[in-house]
A and B are shown apart, each in its own frame.
Chain A
């Protein structure tokens, strides 16, 4: 077993994200963001955040991303920061749009703007769901009657306090995530070969905005962690040239090496995150190797202190332990 905490975003250094949201006259919204989708699903998450804020469907949000000339600045899809930092910027930009729509709808519905909410594609009087206007009608009215097109922009930079060089005190990150992973391993004490049979991963990432994507991140992180723990190693010759610069002998996990994985998402709420979300990216692989090496110790009583824990290392450690132990003479 291994536990960890991990920060979201850069250490003290500024790492802002900006976003622009606009609502069109058909009730769909467009989000402009500088962040990039690499398959982790971050643009889906951002669309979900904007949709939730505006009370529309995720499919009604068009995301335009990663054109550094046309989209607002984003520090990047790094440091496990997209959901938290870019997500906050997107939510705040969408909130501005929503408040503009409230200002336009309030006199038509005969109430004050703060008495309104956005849900089910409508601007609704709180507590009186029958008193509503379709969000597309409000957006169109804002464009062609009041002349205030509903467009919002916002930037978010995690609030930090620089570390004191003498005491080390400060607040270097906006938020932290926590996780525990448990490994079950089978160690062959005649060969030193380790097989990971099962991993259970429990992750607190704040509100899981898209649980299926959280699972995907955790499962992927564990596969990298299994490689880190047992297989992957860059080897150099005496001249410093890598001798395994290919996938033939730089060994990464295949489907046959992967354990059964159980993902446990700890539903939590961080008041500084968009709808309570924090992040899940790099943290997924942080405790994996430690959990596997602790499980090896639990199985055969040897501590492996360098990675990867190859069969050779584990076998040598088992041999050394046997030699150090007093011989048992059977009766």
Chain B
């Protein structure tokens, strides 16, 4: 067993887990954060995407022990007491998700992109979502929502206007 301490969504959390435990399993089973989804478990689908030290990663491919001492942001860390994150708001207003299973991963990939590049082009957005599979939407309304959220986060528009 290994004991890990991870800063998850701004809070230090500690758990003792078998060494082969992935970060995804630890988030879902030990830290009670089931927002990150278990899809393929081999890094193909991106439904488990979380942000570790500013970079989007597949949490099914990282061991919980590798995340020890790092900062992890999950979908649960986006909304605040003031409401949902601009990305979540834009995804809702644009009907960007259908079944929604890929949603947490897509939104975390988008968050990592906008944090690094506040004014992404459509090809840059497509590139950032390249590791997130979606079977329902054709990605069209996700790309639209990410552009809108980026505008809101840059302070150019207060509201999500489709």
Contacts and interface: CB of A to CB of B under 8 A. Distances in A.
Interface string A184-228: 000000000000000000000000000011011001111110000
Nearest to B99: A39
B129 A224 contact: no
B117 interface: no
Nearest to B122: A260
A222 to B, nearest CB: 6
B133 A254 contact: yes
A212 to B, nearest CB: 5
Interface in B73-132: 94-95, 97-100, 125-127, 129-132
A73 B140 CA distance: 35
Contact of B42 (A40, A220, A246): A246
A3 interface: no
Given A216-B95, A216-B141, A255 B40 contact: no
Given A247-B44, A248-B42, A39 B143 contact: no
B131 to A, nearest CB: 8
A230 to B, nearest CB: 14
Contacts of A261: 138, 140
B44 to A, nearest CB: 4
A220 B141 CA distance: 10
B89 to A, nearest CB: 15
B98 A39 contact: yes
A43 to B, nearest CB: 13
Interface residues of B, number: 28
Counting chain A CB atoms within 10 Å of each CB, the highest count among B130, B140, B143 belongs to B140
Contacts of A253: 138
Contact of B139 (A213, A221, A223): A223
B60 to A, nearest CB: 12
Contacts of A40: 98, 136
Contacts of A215: 140-141
A263 B88 CA distance: 24
Interface in A90-138: none
B137 A255 contact: no
Contacts of B133: 247, 252, 254
A223 B129 CA distance: 15
A17 B44 CA distance: 39
A258 interface: yes
Contacts of B126: 255-256, 258
Interface string A240-279: 0000001110001111101001000000000000000000
B45 interface: yes
Given A39-B97, A216-B95, A216-B141, A252 B42 contact: no
A255 B130 contact: yes
Given A41-B95, A252-B135, A256-B127, 12 more contacts: A39-B98, A216-B95, A216-B137, A219-B138, A220-B98, A222-B138, A223-B139, A246-B42, A248-B42, A254-B130, A255-B142, A258-B140
21 contacts: A39-B100, A40-B98, A40-B136, A41-B95, A41-B98, A215-B140, A216-B95, A219-B140, A220-B137, A222-B138, A224-B135, A246-B44, A248-B42, A252-B133, A253-B138, A254-B130, A254-B133, A255-B125, A255-B127, A256-B127, A256-B130
In the A-B complex, the 6 residue pairs with the smallest Cβ-Cβ separation, listed nearest first, are A39-B98, A223-B138, A219-B138, A39-B99, A247-B44, A255-B129
